[in-house]
Structure 1
Amino acid sequence: MSNGTTLVLGATGKTGRRVAARLRLHGTPVRAASRSSPTRFDWSDPGGWDAALRDVDAVYVVAPGVPGPVHGFVARAEAVGVRRLVLLSGRGADTWGDSAFGLDMRSAEDAVRGSALEWTVLRPSNFNQNFDEDVFSAPLVAGELALPAGEVPEPFIDVEDVADAAAAVLTEPGRHAGRVYELTGPRALTFAEAVGLISRASGREIRYRRISPAEYVAALVAEGVGEDDAHHVAEMFVLMEQGLITETTDDLAALLGRAPRTFEDYVVRAAAAGAWQRPHASEGS
């Protein structure tokens, strides 16, 4: 087990906050960093990086939304004596071809994998928790999720499994050096099937409707999402429809010695917590 300090970037995000908690439970000193943490970290402010990196042994890296900054960050990490990097990337990143999606993650992979440090890359599929903690949550609560996804399934993964994988790699120096782990759930589901399970577990009528990428971009922009960001998200669905990342893998089981959590298990937990219930009128007043 590593006892050096681990810097966790994106420490208030879906994976970062979970990874930090696991490391603390392991007894690993953690420096949690984000734009709103006591240890402030901003990808657009390289002047603050050295303070976050001081006396750090390992870094959990969640790439920024633009290509480029991770190269400079890795150079600083090398210069100040960091020994290990664990990067959160995306499933099958080297199969995305000339897609406009994921240029940020591919740039980050180039930086980390080209460094002189011990590195590991985690490439998970779409998170289950996108349905209750992120972009899909509000439409599901409203009763309909409309996306440009059809019959090509996605092997959704539980973010708790991703955090378990990251914590394992970060606390086992040497064992995972130079490895790329493609992390998936135990089976692939279409978005329609996923919404059907959510509807049943929540006890509400919730529908799935397929729309075109152009319609999805327009809907996101109408909700206040920037046009560039909206096109980027839509491009992810165009990529998924190519069917290159639908297969499940055994990488999580090999890494953790157990099977990944099922989507049904996630749905039961989230529904029991009230994830997709409409707020009462008094709560919105």
Structure 2
Amino acid sequence: MTILVLAATGKTGRRLVPQLRADGNEVRAASRSGEARFDWNEPETWAAVLAGVRAVYLVAPEDPEPVEAFVAQAVRAGVERFVVLSGRELEQAEGRFGGEMLAAERAVAASGVGWTVLRSNNFNQNFDEYTWREPLLAGRLGLPIGATGEPFIDTQDVAEVAALALTEAGHFGQVYELSGPESLTFGEAVRMISAALGRPIEYVELTPAEYEAELLAEGFPAEVAGALGGMFEMMREGLITTPTDTVEKLLGRPATTFAEYVGRVWPPH
């Protein structure tokens, strides 16, 4: 069975591909710049990556418009299983954040073939591989989140759960809520990273308007700033602050703690 991994160069995809291959699976790693070229906005790239594929790891594009057509084409090509990366409590945030992930969930649920949804909290790796990396290294992270906790999850844990769902029986129709084992405030997380770096990092509480203004000043597009603002609005409501034990139940080991992540990654190599 060939497994197609979309967004294969992303935070979860680049961990999932070697995980699957180490287990002896045939994997097609696809992205705009990966081993197999795939672009959501260029449907002419879809057929080649789908040829001979029976399972797909799907990370939705920012624009959800092509997802339904892709899923339909994948089913016609012989795909029998989808595993979709999504976020927790997105129905509560609809219209504010996560519309593309909800569209992917709904497309695979209506596909007529097997599907599994992985609803994840924010990744540990958002601190060293994404939006928060440069502010942390510069010594100041400002966010509009207050004292609301977040059970950050490690992307390696997500990749291992995805590998199970893509290759083993018993996961069809399941929606897995994935989190780390403990809920930390962003201030606590920043203090742990600061200690690992051996130098101070200031955590600053911003209003939503201040946060949007800072993102725009840093050059983020308005739609990205709006989506991030919507995410923090949903998080402030406490909808995703409670940890789950799903990772431990599925993998047979505890989920990675934030302290373990910090000890492994910080300072960045």
* TM-score by shorter chain over 0.5: yes
CA distance in 1, matches of 2:199, 2:261: 17
1:231 to 218, 226, 232: 226
CA distance in 1, matches of 2:250, 2:92: 22
Establish whether residue 275 from structure 1 lines up as the match of residue 259 from structure 2. no
Match of 1:112 in 2: 108
- 1:116-175 CA-to-partner distances (Å, cap 9, x unmatched) read 111000011000010011110000000010011101111100111111111121121x31
Cα shift at 1:115: 1.2
CA distance in 2, matches of 1:65, 1:253: 30
Match of 2:176 in 1: 181
CA distance in 2, matches of 1:160, 1:80: 30
Partners of 2:28 and 2:35 within 8 A in 1: no
List alignment gaps of at least 5 residues for structure 1.
277-285
Give 1:139-150 correspondences, 5 Å limit. 139-150=135-146
Partners of 1:68 and 1:108 within 8 A in 2: no
TM-score after normalising by structure 1 = 0.92
CA distance in 1, matches of 2:82, 2:99: 19
Cα shift at 1:92: 2.1
Give 1:72-83 correspondences, 5 Å limit. 72-83=69-80
Establish whether residue 203 from structure 1 lines up as the match of residue 198 from structure 2. yes
Establish whether residue 191 from structure 1 lines up as the match of residue 191 from structure 2. no
Cα shift at 1:268: 0.7
Cα shift at 1:210: 0.6
Moved more, 66-75 or 127-136: 66-75
Cα shift at 1:46: 1.3
Partners of 2:212 and 2:229 within 8 A in 1: yes
Corresponding residue SS for 1:111: helix
CA distance in 2, matches of 1:38, 1:181: 29
List alignment gaps of at least 5 residues for structure 2.
none
One-letter code aligned to 2:158 = V
Cα shift at 1:38: 3.4
CA distance in 2, matches of 1:37, 1:248: 34
Give 1:57-136 correspondences, 5 Å limit. 57-96=54-93, 98-136=94-132
Establish whether residue 219 from structure 1 lines up as the match of residue 210 from structure 2. no
Instruction: Report the RMSD for the aligned CA atoms in angstroms.
Output: 1.1
Cα shift at 1:7: 0.4
CA distance in 1, matches of 2:233, 2:95: 9
CA distance in 1, matches of 2:86, 2:193: 27
- 1:211-239 CA-to-partner distances (Å, cap 9, x unmatched) read 01111111111111111111111111011
Give 1:42-57 correspondences, 5 Å limit. 42-57=39-54
CA distance in 2, matches of 1:179, 1:95: 19
Match of 2:165 in 1: 169
1:259 to 241, 254, 261: 254
CA distance in 2, matches of 1:189, 1:32: 34
Corresponding residue SS for 1:33: strand
CA distance in 2, matches of 1:53, 1:184: 31
User: 1:197 and 1:163, CA in 2 relative to 1: closer, same or farther beyond 3 A?
Assistant: same
Partners of 1:185 and 1:262 within 8 A in 2: yes
CA distance in 2, matches of 1:94, 1:251: 20
CA distance in 1, matches of 2:61, 2:125: 20
Match of 1:154 in 2: 150
Partners of 1:5 and 1:28 within 8 A in 2: yes
CA distance in 1, matches of 2:13, 2:255: 19
CA distance in 2, matches of 1:77, 1:93: 25
Cα shift at 1:264: 0.3
Partners of 1:87 and 1:109 within 8 A in 2: yes
Match of 1:282 in 2: none
- 1:10-34 CA-to-partner distances (Å, cap 9, x unmatched) read 0111101100010010110010000
CA distance in 1, matches of 2:19, 2:207: 40
One-letter code aligned to 2:153 = I
CA distance in 1, matches of 2:132, 2:242: 23
